[in-house]
């Protein structure tokens, strides 16, 4: 076990200081350069806490775990301590990559566990969004402890101190959280007294700019900091959690909590034009999906072609690569403790070449749809359903002075605020509807968690990840960064889309030109649905690049309210 250093506490005054000069919101954010360390997260308070931890001697993993504790305070719509988590960690001294799976387990009986993504859609439509049957066995706290014990340098309680201070002293309500709370207030947040007390204490969503405090959550984190994970898995909170889940229709038991185990796994590895892609292994679909997409596109010199935002042919080629990869991951990626997975085949260059050949030989003939198309009426995108490759989530990345890198995804699963149930200030998850199995040792949910690192000549060059569109946002960013050769900031900013399967709408940010959208409909038969030029549903990349001179470049996605910062 790594020896613990002295407590690295972040003052509330420092954390709240950014808001005196105006909080960061959605919109363009310039890339940030630093010489020593860098962090990027979806809220300025979180980013600054991460940087301060590293400035005072903590490592990248320490910074990431401080973020995991704080984000449920300021971003309760996306994450919870009673959710799931995955960590990709680069240990610089040893030159090794480590992957921690602390994702949610399905409950062992009576849960609406889907065996496939098709069945997931069916279950999600017939099980009420506030039902306790959606609640699974959380892994976040167990994952935090396992990671801290192996690679951390702080005392266990210190990971929670910045979050406790912000929860007790409060933070300003910001527009992104307000919008999400306003949408959920008539449903999930009003379903249970605990949700109303926690989020609607005066009967309405607190206005933007007012101070939001989370005293119940602060009290729970104090006990968790003092008593350790046992408080969450066998102690007082565990008993309250199981009782609340069962009273709302769930089948969770204390034994389910006590039996939960984290897993250390080998990450997936693939290559793209001289770069190594290190990412999440099954039961996450992300590493396989990202690698398959890049493998299929690798023979194509993207730099010699128009960008997909300016060319229907380029767009259609990339969209088809996504379609092949998504079909394969939907069909074959499951929990490896319960199923054999043809991972070597899925990641092979030979398999990718066959798929690329199908794309090459299925393009429309030049005479079909030739000529310019007149703009016409378009049916706008809808986001009232849940996309199978996305989840309401947070992602953080950090690089420290010693070159350690961390990429962490953690989530509430399913819809924002999950079921709306709150236990002692802690929101619960809604992951039981995700695909997987409730039987045997392989009970993990199948997720799109995408923590990823890109290396060049054996040295990590880029660490990134995304919530929301998740692995697809990472894949698109890498297509722009590695394939088109864009600078990182532009690669993150570039237009995104979702929906590649036949018959499903393809939602496209409208910075993809109207002519391209018209060509996609008329020449390729794509069911196009335009959306905002920057749509927060389509991911929020957080990324840090190690530049040739050794300095760091941090980026936070313009689609959400994040911030990159360093020193």
What digits encode the pLDDT tens for the residues 398-427? Answer: 999 999 999 999 999 988 999 999 999 999
Residue 374 has pLDDT above 90, yes or no: no
List, for residues 205-221, the tens digit of each pLDDT value. Answer: 999 999 999 999 999 99
pLDDT tens, 510-537? 999 999 999 999 999 999 999 999 999 9
199 φ, ψ (degrees, to nearest 5): -115, -20
Q: For residues 467-488, give the mean pLDDT.
A: 96
Which of the four pLDDT bands, split at 50, 70 and 90, describes residue 1?
Answer: very low
Distance CA 418, CA 78 (A): 8
Q: Mean pLDDT throughout 275-279? A: 98
Q: Residues 6 or more apart from 366 whose CB is under 8 A from it?
A: none
Q: What is the mean pLDDT of the chain?
A: 90
pLDDT of residue 9: 39
Instruction: Give the DSSP per-residue string, 225-291.
Output: HHH-THHHHTSHHHHHHHHHHHHTT----HHHHHT---EEEPPEEEEETTEEEEEPPTTBSHHHHHH
Q: What's the angle, vertex CA 563, arms to CA 558 and CA 564, rounded to 5?
A: 110
pLDDT digits (tens, 9 = 90+) for 350-372: 999 999 999 999 888 764 454 55
pLDDT given at position 370: 47
Burial class (CB in 10 A: 0-12, 13-18, 19+), 140: buried
Please compute, for residue 554, the number of CA atoms within 13 A of its CA located in the half-sphere on the CB side.
26
Q: What is the pLDDT of residue 434?
A: 81
Residue 113 has pLDDT above 70, yes or no: no
Q: If you average pLDDT over residues 259-275, what whole number do you get? A: 97
Q: How confident is the model at residue 396 (pLDDT cuts 50, 70, 90)?
A: very high
Query: d(Cα 57, Cα 153) in Å, to the nearest integer?
Result: 9
Give CA 88 to chain center in angstroms.
13
Q: Which pLDDT score is estimated for 318?
A: 98
User: Residue 395: its pLDDT value, please?
Assistant: 97
How confident is the model at residue 375, as a pLDDT? Answer: 58
Band (120; pLDDT cuts 50, 70, 90): low
**Single pTM value for the model:** 0.93
Decide: 393 and 409 in contact? Cβ < 8 Å.
Answer: yes
CA distance 287 to 284: 7
For a pLDDT cut of 70, what percent of the chain falls above it? 88
């Amino acid at each position: 076990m790594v020896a613990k250093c002295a407590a690295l506490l972040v003052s509330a005054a420092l954390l709240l200081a950014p808001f005196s000069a105006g909080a960061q919101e959605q919109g363009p954010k310039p890339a940030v350069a630093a010489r020593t360390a860098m962090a990027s997260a979806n809220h300025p308070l979180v980013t600054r806490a991460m940087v301060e931890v590293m400035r005072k001697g903590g490592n990248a993993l320490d910074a990431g775990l401080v973020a995991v504790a704080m984000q449920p305070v300021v971003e309760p719509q996306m994450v919870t301590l009673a959710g799931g988590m995955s960590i990709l960690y680069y240990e610089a001294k040893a030159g090794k990559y480590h992957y921690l799976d602390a994702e949610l387990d399905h409950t062992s009986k009576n849960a609406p566990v889907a065996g496939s993504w098709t069945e997931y859609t069916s279950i999600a439509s017939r099980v009420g969004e506030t039902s306790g049957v959606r609640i699974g066995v959380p892994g976040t706290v167990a994952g935090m402890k396992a990671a801290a014990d192996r690679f951390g340098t702080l005392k266990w309680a210190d990971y929670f101190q910045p979050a406790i201070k912000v929860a007790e002293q409060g933070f300003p309500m910001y527009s992104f959280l307000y919008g999400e709370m306003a949408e959920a207030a008539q449903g999930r947040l009003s379903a249970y007294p605990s949700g109303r007390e926690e989020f609607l204490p005066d009967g309405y969503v607190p206005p933007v700019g007012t101070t939001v405090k989370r005293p119940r959550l602060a009290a729970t984190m104090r006990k968790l900091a003092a008593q350790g994970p046992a408080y969450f898995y066998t102690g007082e909170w565990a008993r309250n959690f199981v009782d609340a889940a069962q009273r709302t229709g769930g089948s969770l038991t204390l034994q389910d909590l006590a039996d939960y185990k984290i897993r250390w796994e080998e990450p997936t590895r693939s290559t793209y034009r001289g770069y190594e892609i290190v990412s999440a292994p099954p039961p996450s679909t992300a590493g396989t999906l990202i690698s398959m997409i890049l493998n299929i596109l690798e023979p194509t010199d993207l730099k010699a072609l128009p960008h997909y935002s300016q060319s229907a042919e380029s767009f259609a080629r990339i969209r088809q690569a996504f379609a092949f990869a998504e079909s394969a991951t939907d069909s074959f990626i499951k929990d490896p403790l319960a199923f054999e997975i043809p991972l070597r085949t899925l990641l092979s260059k030979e398999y990718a070449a066959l798929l690329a050949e199908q794309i090459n030989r299925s393009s429309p003939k030049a005479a079909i749809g030739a000529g310019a198309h007149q703009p016409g009426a378009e049916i706008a995108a809808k986001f009232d359903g849940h996309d199978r490759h996305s989840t309401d989530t947070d992602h953080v990345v950090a690089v420290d002075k010693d070159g350690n890198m961390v990429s962490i995804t953690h989530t509430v699963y399913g819809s924002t605020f999950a079921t709306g149930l709150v236990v002692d200030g802690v929101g619960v998850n809604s992951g039981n509807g995700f695909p997987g199995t409730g039987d045997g040792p392989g009970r993990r949910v199948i997720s799109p968690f995408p923590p990823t690192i890109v290396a060049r000549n054996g040295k990590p060059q880029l660490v990134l990840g995304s919530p929301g569109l998740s692995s697809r946002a990472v894949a698109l960013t890498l297509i722009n960064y590695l394939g088109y050769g864009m600078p990182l900031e532009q690669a993150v900013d570039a237009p995104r889309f979702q929906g590649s399967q036949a018959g499903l709408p393809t939602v496209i940010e409208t910075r993809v030109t109207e002519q391209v959208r018209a060509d996609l409909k008329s020449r390729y038969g794509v069911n196009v649905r335009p959306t905002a030029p920057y749509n927060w549903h389509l991911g929020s990349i957080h990324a840090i690049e190690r530049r040739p001179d050794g300095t760091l470049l941090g980026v936070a996605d313009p689609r959400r309210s994040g911030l990159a910062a360093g020193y």
